[in-house]
Structure 1
Amino acid sequence: MQSSVTVLIGMGEFFAILVAGIDLSVGAILALSGMVTAKLMLAGIDPFLAALIGGVLVGGALGAINGCLVNWTGLHPFIITLGTNAIFRGITLVISDANSVYGFSFDFVNFFAASVIGIPVPVIFSLIVALILWFLTTRMRLGRNIYALGGNKNSAFYSGIDVKFHILVVFIISGVCAGLAGVVSTARLGAAEPLAGMGFETYAIASAIIGGTSFFGGKGRIFSVVIGGLIIGTINNGLNILQVQTYYQLVVMGGLIIAAVALDRLISK
């Protein structure tokens, strides 16, 4: 299930990087979306409606905030999402009183713990999201415009593409993916943790870059990111089995990102 979370946030990060941006708030969006989902279930709302609201609506709204701030201020997404990462994390801590939230529906937990013909539900869930995003990037004009924007923003603008609209859409998609990851993570843990997703932006970026997405924008494929996320998940699981400390795992992830970006730069020359 952890690999499914990595794949989901990696797919969202893919869109931010595709337009030569970045989203450092995915971990905080994951935590806040998961917390809202848990709070809604405890308030008596149907678990799957709560997941829809917490994952899609809250995640999308937080992503929209990122997109609007990038468009309004003209600042690089690195600065904006670095700031909103702290804001969203702070809001999560406030609404949870810095405590874990648990005791919600077992149906919700059991659903995501189940398997269909031997395939875990979170894996199926991630693949469905991947298929939707694949269709968007390969069969819709919106996807082609996003690639064009990442390739050359000025050329895209002069060819009639609404740059600000597409940047907004990109961050909404990233937010929704992180929100859905928050739902899956909450089900996996059986609780909403205010510090869930800490450092996950590293995993998200690594999934996208190792999956072949150019850090300089305009190049990448969604199913390659899925493979990248599975690779990162496998590496993490292997390091956990070997009882490697978390901070050493972050060293490994950081090294992989640097190596992948350096290789991308060499290839692009």
Structure 2
Amino acid sequence: MAQQSDGIGGLKYDKSKKAWPNEFNIFIALILIVAIFEALGQILPYMNGQSFLFDTQDRFDTIFNEARLRIIILQVAIIGIISLGVTQVIISGGIDLSSGPLVAATAMIVMSFAQTELVNGNPNPKAVFGPWAFDLPIIVPIIVGLAFGAMIGAINGTFIAFTRIPPFIATLGMFLICRGIAQWWTRGQPVSFPTEAYAWIGSGMMPVIWFILLAILCHVLLRYTVYGKHTYAIGSNEDAARMSGINVKRHKVLVYMIASMLAAFAAIVLSSKNLTAQSGMGLFYELFAIAMAVIGGISLTGGRGSIIGTVLGAMVFGVIQSGFTYVKLDAYFQLMAMGAIIIGAVVLDQWRQQRAASRS
């Protein structure tokens, strides 16, 4: 018979049902995926015994393949910033499909305020505005971008909270609006040649640093503040949260605003990194961000998940993406495989919830 002890309110705690934290399971999955790709490098005849993670050719100062590790973390950093906001939306019981096009629209707008006047001594050939918009302080494009993101998030949140439009429909509509804004802003022409200060934001490993800093900030917000408690409460049971005194409508607007501001900041980092903004940026970013959250253990029904899980999910996503390239899997097969992985993660989440419900 399972050993039990008294709990709060006379409830019994069954030690036999104690389980590892979900984040630990994701970390184990990450190690297993790396091991699988290492094994494929040795098994597949055309791989010639290459190593996925380790430096077998003495090109680096450590035993690891630093170039591959750098590529993996850079690949996930910018979409990872978006996933931090998407995580909060999903925990609150919503969904956000507008983040990818929002990246494109924000990048186009922000780069217009981040241009330098002279390029190799000649006038900027991609100038959007007049002389007043050249060589502005770096804070100007950042504020413009975050303000645009906050406005889009406020619109999303307002429609969802006050008109009761399903989040899927509201953000799908905003998906099309933002993609249209991105194409309309300069009639589809790219915007290039930013100032040196703006280019610094996404230079080198800065995208990774921004991702880590924002992940820490979002983890603190969700774990240790009233904002986080209310977000989980609304996602778990919106009616109960409302009856307990939480202003559900206002909080939903805030959650969507934060998510859109994170997507806008990701656009700033991306356009800075690429030194250009194009209307086609952000393709599939919203789906990849959701995938990172789902792989990280976020429940699509709301009320459960963590920023740590999403960060680990982003790393799993990056390893899988890099691993597919490593084994020379064609791009279209990669998309098929990623879709199958997302479906599998959701099926696993549903099974986990049913199992937990049956035990309670």
Query: Which TM-score band (shorter chain)?
Result: over 0.9
Residue 69 of structure 1: how far off its partner (Å): 1.4
Deviation at 1:264, TM superposition (A): 0.7
Q: CA deviation at 1:111?
A: 4.4
Q: Which residue of 1 aligns with 2:194?
A: 104
**Aligned: 1:24 with 2:114:** no
Q: Which of 250, 257, 262 is equivalent to 2:342?
A: 257
Q: Is contact 1:108–1:187 with CA below 8 Å preserved after alignment?
A: yes
Question: Structure 1's 122 and 148: CA in aligned 2 closer, same or farther, altered over 3 A?
Answer: same
C-alpha contact 1:2 1:185 (8 A) present in aligned 2: no
Q: CA 1:171–1:61 in structure 2 vs 1: closer, same or farther (change >3 Å)?
A: same
Question: Hey, what does 2:258 align to over in structure 1?
Answer: 173
Q: 1:247 to 1:142 in 2, by over 3 A?
A: same
Which string of whole-angstrom CA distances, capped at 9 and with x for unpartnered residues, describes residues 61-113 of structure 1?
21111111112321110001111100011011100211211122234224422
CA shift digits 1:198-252 (9 cap, x unpaired): 1111101101011111111000111211121122223223334555454433322
- Output the CA distance in 1 between the equivalents of 2:328 and 2:180: 31
Q: Which of 187, 203, 208 is the matching residue for 1:123?
A: 208
Cα distance in 2 for partners of 1:136, 1:122 equals 21
Q: CA deviation at 1:47?
A: 5.5
Identity score, percent: 33
Q: Distance in 2 between matches of 1:249 and 1:54?
A: 36
User: Structure 1 residues 101 and 13, CA, compared in 2 at 3 Å: closer, same or farther?
Assistant: same
Q: Give the corresponding residue for 1:117.
A: none
Three-state SS of the structure 2 residue aligned to 1:112 is coil
Q: 1:5-59 CA distances to partner (integer Å, 9 max, x unpaired)? A: 1211111110111122110000011111111110011222536314422442221
1:59 aligned partner:
149
One-letter amino acid of the counterpart of residue 264, structure 2: G
Aligned AA (1:89): R
1:238 paired to 2:238:
no
Please give the secondary structure, in 2, of the residue aligned with 1:99: coil
**Matching of residue 225 in structure 1 with residue 310 in structure 2:** yes
Q: Per-residue deviation at 1:123?
A: 1.0
> Are 1:6 and 2:79 matched, yes or no?
yes
Of 147, 166, 181, 1:91 maps to 181
Question: Quick check: 1:203–1:253 contact (8 Å CA) kept in 2?
Answer: no
| Number of aligned residues | 264
Question: In the TM superposition, what are the counterparts of 1:177-216 in structure 2 within 5 Å?
Answer: 177-216=262-301
> Take 1:242 and 1:193, find their aligned partners in 2: how far apart are those partners?
30
Distance 2:254 2:340 in 1: 30
Give unpaired runs (5+ residues) of structure 1: 115-119
Could you report, residue by residue, the CA deviation over 1:116-139 in whole angstroms, capped at 9, with x for unpaired residues?
A: xxxx21111111111111111111
Q: 1:156 to 1:128 in 2, by over 3 A?
A: same
Deviates more, 1:34-43 or 1:23-32: 34-43
Q: Taking structure 1 as reference, are residues 131 and 103 closer, same or farther at Cα in structure 2, changes over 3 Å only?
A: same
- Tell me the distance in 2 between the aligned counterparts of 1:159 and 1:153: 10
TM-score by length of 1: 0.92
* Structure 2 gap segments, 5+ residues each: 1-73, 116-132, 355-360
Higher helix share: 1
CA distance in 2, matches of 1:70, 1:247: 35
In 1, Cα distance between equivalents of 2:333 and 2:196: 35
Q: 1:48 aligns with which of 138, 151, 170?
A: 138
Are 1:55 and 1:181, in contact at CA under 8 Å, matched by a contact in 2?
Answer: no
